[in-house]
Structure 1
Amino acid sequence: MGESISVFAQSSSSTRILNDLTALCIGAPRSGTTWLYRNLRRHPDIFLPPVKEVRQFVGKANPQVRTRIAETAARDPGEYDALWAKAWAAADRHSEDDYRVLMRGIVPSPVTMDISPVYCIAKRGQIAKFKRALGERVRIVMMLRNPIDRDFSHAKQHFHMVEEAFEARSVETYLQYLDQPSIRRRNNYPETLDLWSEVFGPDAIHVEFYEDIASDPFGVLERVAGHLGVAFDRAVFVETASRRVGAGGDASGIVPAELKPLLAERHRPLIEAMARRWPQRCRRWLDDCDAVMSRDRAGTQAARAAPPAVTGS
Structure 2
Amino acid sequence: MSGGGRLPDFLIIGAARSGTTALYSQMRQAPDIFMPALKEPNFFSYEGEALTCQGPGAEYINSSITEVDAYRALFAKAPGGAICGEASPLYLYAPRAPERILHHVPKVRMIVVLRNPIEQAFSHFLYATRHRIESETDFLRVLDQEEARLRAGWQPLFGYSSFPRYGEQLARYFRLFPRESFLIRRYEAFRNTPDAVLRDALAFVGANPDFQPVQTEGVNAGGTPRNRAFQDFLMRPNPITGAIGLVVPRETRWKIRDWLAGFNTRRGLEMPDAARAILIERLRDDIGRLSDILGEDFSDWLM
- CA gap 1:164/1:186 in 2 versus in 1, 3 angstroms: closer
Gaps of 5+ in 2: 54-58, 151-155, 223-264
Which 4+ runs in 1 deviate beyond 6 A?
none
Are 2:83 and 1:111 equivalent residues in the alignment?
yes
- Counterpart residue type for residue 195 of structure 1: R
2:9 corresponding residue in structure 1: 22
The 5-angstrom pairing of residues 1-313 of structure 1 reads 12=2, 15-17=4-6, 22-58=9-45, 93-103=65-75, 105-108=76-79, 109-124=81-96, 126-134=97-105, 136-163=106-133, 168-169=137-138, 171-177=140-146, 182=156, 183=159, 184-234=161-211, 236-237=212-213, 239-240=214-215, 243-248=217-222, 249-253=265-269, 256-278=272-294, 280=296, 282-285=298-301, 289-290=302-303
- CA gap 1:179/1:39 in 2 versus in 1, 3 angstroms: farther
2:250 corresponding residue in structure 1: none
1:81 corresponding residue in structure 2: none
Q: What fraction of aligned residue pairs are identical, expressed as a percent?
A: 27
- Offset at 1:230? 1.2
Q: In structure 1, how many angstroms separate the alpha carbons of the residues matched to 2:279 and 2:45?
A: 26
**TM, length-normalised to structure 2:** 0.67
Q: In structure 1, how many angstroms separate the alpha carbons of the residues matched to 2:147 and 2:270?
A: 16
- Offset at 1:155? 1.4
Q: Report if the CA contact (8 A) 1:31-1:210 is conserved.
A: yes
1:153 counterpart SS class? helix
- Counterpart residue type for residue 110 of structure 1: A
- CA gap 1:178/1:256 in 2 versus in 1, 3 angstroms: farther
- Counterpart residue type for residue 188 of structure 1: R
Q: In structure 2, how many angstroms separate the alpha carbons of the residues matched to 1:57 and 1:280?
A: 28
Q: In structure 2, how many angstroms separate the alpha carbons of the residues matched to 1:145 and 1:179?
A: 26
- Count of residues in Structure 1 that have an aligned counterpart in Structure 2: 241
- CA gap 1:168/1:24 in 2 versus in 1, 3 angstroms: closer
- CA gap 1:178/1:282 in 2 versus in 1, 3 angstroms: farther
Q: In structure 1, how many angstroms separate the alpha carbons of the residues matched to 2:148 and 2:134?
A: 21
Q: In structure 1, how many angstroms separate the alpha carbons of the residues matched to 2:73 and 2:114?
A: 29
- Offset at 1:219? 1.0
Task: Write 1 or 2 for the structure with the bigger share of helix.
Answer: 1
Q: Deviations over 1:245-266 (max 9, x none)?
A: 2223335548644312221222
- Counterpart residue type for residue 133 of structure 1: H
Q: Report if the CA contact (8 A) 2:167-2:287 is conserved.
A: no
Q: In structure 1, how many angstroms separate the alpha carbons of the residues matched to 2:281 and 2:103?
A: 40
- Counterpart residue type for residue 37 of structure 2: P
- CA gap 1:164/1:269 in 2 versus in 1, 3 angstroms: closer
Gaps of 5+ in 1: 1-10, 63-67, 70-88, 291-313
- Counterpart residue type for residue 240 of structure 1: Q
Q: In structure 2, how many angstroms separate the alpha carbons of the residues matched to 1:158 and 1:123?
A: 22
Structure of higher CA gyration radius: 1
Q: CA RMSD in A?
A: 3.2
